[in-house]
A = this chain, B = another copy of it.
Amino acid sequence: MPTSQPWVFVTIFAGAVSVAVAVWLYGWVHRQDAGTKKAQEVASWIREGATSYLRRLYLALTLVAVALGIIIAIVFSFDIEHLGTEAISVDPLRGGGMALAFVVGAVCSAVAGYMGMSVAVAANVRSAAAANEGINQSFRVAFYAGSVMGLAMVGLAAIGMGTVYLLTGDPEIVLGFSFGASTLALLAKAGGGIYTKTADIAADLVGKVELGIPEDDPRNPAVIADLVGDNVGDVAGMGADIFDSYVASTVAVMLLGASLFQNDAVLQAKYTVFPLVLCALGIVASLIGIRFVRVGKNGKPGQALNRGTIITCAILAVLTTAVVLLGDYKLGVLWATLAGLATGIVVGFTSDYFTSSENRPVIETARVSGSGAAINIITGFSYGLISTVPSIIGIALATLISYYLAEWSGLSGIYGVGISAVGMLSVSGMIVSSDAYGPIVDNARGIAEMAGMSQKVIDTADVLDAAGNTAKAITKGFAISAAALTVLTLFAAYAEVVGTRGVELSISLRDPMVIVGVLLGAVTPPLFSALTMLSVTDNAFKMIGEIRRQFREYPGILAGTEKPDYAACVDLAAQGALMSLVLPGFLAIFLPILVGFVLGPEALGGFLGGSIFTGIIFALLMSNAGGLWDNAKKFIESGEHGGTGSDAHKASVVGDTVGDPFKDTAGPSLNTLITVMSLVSSLFAPIIAAFHLF
């Protein structure tokens, strides 16, 4: 593939530039003023807590990676393509390569997450300190810290995928890399989600509800765990989640590209490599776009973030148009890229509509809260259900447009759908940067309060925080729609991989095995959500016990004369979160394999389909309803319907607490769940197909 190889080098180079900029920004953030001694002390507690969690997470990851790596090395050493038809040959190089790719994928995702989280912890306190100088300086620290993760993530992904492909020339090995990244994402996202809400709920129930002390009060033993949670759940978790979709969509399209033009090696290589081209262009667009994100002395941070996103999308559109025209690509890939970008924006703004306090859903939910918590819940939940409709229509339109325009221009339709996912995700550098900004400024506010900083600092932090919440709603919509298109592509890639092994898959809804597969797949996301949410309440009860024990045994804590044992709560949350992952993680990885072996490849196709459909709907429902309840509470706190302390406010607090595990634990993990299940299926598809031919 001589004509396309330069592009692989370009991708690796763009990735290296991205990582270099991330490293430079990492240093820049650390060189900023770290504030008062008290603030630094608080920050050090958060750093210790975060490190302690990461140590446990990476230990768990290592165990899982070694175990799965060995399985992969063994399984893929057999020449499964010819299982049953001729003598079985053994190729340990392929098995070893696949296992290595798997481990490298997990490590790359872990490194990006580690950089992102460690810079976030450093940036919390520095952003608070910078608030003394004004909103523009404080914003810059937080946003550039967020960019560290965004750029490290896309950079490492580009380097990793490019290198694996360069060395092996086999997209199926790159699938191993993607599976590694997704396995980490599952642990990081679901674990982080459980961690953060365990700490949040326990801290609130004992602190705010039982004792009436304010949020982020340093006397509360769970307060540090709560602040750590924002970093591990929202920063590291969301980063891993998008890393996972980013890599998975790129790999899936490479696989689909490799099945095009099977008798023209040059064209085949050209379209196999095109998703990497889009990654490279997306990195360039993000690097430029990030430069445009800045606010003046009285600027609006929310506008700055949106401006950055829109400029990045525009640059990507221009660059893609240029490359497609100059490089003589078929126009279908351009339309697909643009459809993907447009859908990302539509779904993002839909989330914004349903969760912003300027629109009917939040206003109405706040209004009815005066009649009690139950009405608040019913109303918010109903709007959450309705919010799935425009997003699903957007995803459906993107699918149809990219499919038929790609087919019309002479490519396979499903390749076009994949390109629309990659197009949407190629601007992840920018998206993750503005997403990670949110929890950083949220934490800056917490530190400012705990360290007794001035009211001006707290007010500035509040303004920055509000912008973060809007950005978060938009990026969540983005992440879910990207995951939806990604898994639809992976689904096609699965069928493609099975097809190349001689099993022509007809995943027809008129086949009872497919129906049964769909039914089983459709209940998996609800089951997964339930398990993670029950883990949150279980772990929160354990932590409540620990908080009460500390207050009881050390009365000095409540009096403010004694330092609580923050580490005990941090450890409890970390241990609980990781233990809770065993069953859901097992489900995600082994259920598809089980369905495939027992019920056959058609049923597995149905299973994936079913999990995708309900997965997307529950993810949208839970994210949007959660955001809506959160903002309805904030709307009331701004003075509407009686303000803080009124009956309406109490009702809205219940809604917000229900929404917490919805939007931060169960909802977003579903993306990763369906990606992991689709990847596992594609990876094991040849074996399952061979087993059923046998």
Contacts and interface: CB of A to CB of B under 8 A. Distances in A.
Interface of A: 201, 205, 209, 368, 371-375, 377-379, 381-383, 385-386, 388-389, 392-393, 395-396, 399-400, 403-404, 413-414, 417, 488, 491-492, 495, 505-510, 512-516, 518-520, 522-523, 526-527, 529-531, 533-534, 536-537, 540-541, 544, 605-606, 609-610, 613-614, 616-617, 621, 653-655, 657-658, 661
A510 B492 contact: yes
22 contacts: A373-B373, A374-B653, A375-B657, A378-B536, A378-B657, A378-B661, A381-B530, A381-B658, A382-B529, A382-B537, A386-B527, A386-B530, A388-B527, A399-B512, A399-B519, A400-B513, A403-B512, A492-B510, A508-B508, A526-B621, A614-B614, A654-B654
Contacts of A617: 522-523, 526, 614
B518 A510 contact: no
A372 B654 contact: yes
B209 A516 contact: no
A609 to B, nearest CB: 5
B209 A372 contact: yes
Contacts of A523: 388-389, 392, 617
A383 B512 contact: no
Nearest to A506: B508
Contacts of A541: 368, 371
B537 A379 contact: yes
Nearest to A210: B371
B508 A392 contact: no
A11 B560 CA distance: 82
A363 B692 CA distance: 45
B372 A519 contact: no
Contacts of A515: 396, 399, 488
A663 to B, nearest CB: 12
B399 A526 contact: no
Given A378-B537, A523-B617, A385 B516 contact: no
B510 A385 contact: no
Number of copies: 2
B512 A413 contact: yes
Contacts of A383: 530, 534
B377 A377 contact: yes
Contacts of A533: 378, 381-382
Contact of A509 (B205, B372, B491): B491
A515 to B, nearest CB: 6
Query: Which 4 pairs, one residue from A and one from B, show the smallest C-beta to C-beta distance?
Result: A374-B657, A385-B530, A382-B530, A507-B509
A194 to B, nearest CB: 13
Contacts of A653: 374
Given A368-B541, A614-B613, A617-B522, A516 B396 contact: yes
Given A382-B534, A541-B368, A510 B505 contact: yes
Most buried by B among A209, A413, A540, A614: A614
Given A507-B509, A510-B492, A617-B614, A205 B371 contact: yes
A507 B505 contact: no
A377 B659 CA distance: 10
Contacts of A492: 510
A377 B507 contact: no
A622 to B, nearest CB: 10
A407 to B, nearest CB: 9
Contacts of A505: 510
A605 B372 contact: no
A541 B381 CA distance: 18
Contacts of A381: 530, 533, 658
A509 B389 contact: no
Nearest to A209: B372
Given A506-B508, A609-B509, A529 B385 contact: yes
Given A393-B520, A491-B509, 17 more contacts: A209-B372, A374-B655, A378-B533, A379-B537, A382-B531, A385-B526, A385-B529, A388-B523, A388-B527, A389-B523, A389-B526, A389-B527, A400-B516, A518-B609, A519-B613, A526-B621, A654-B654
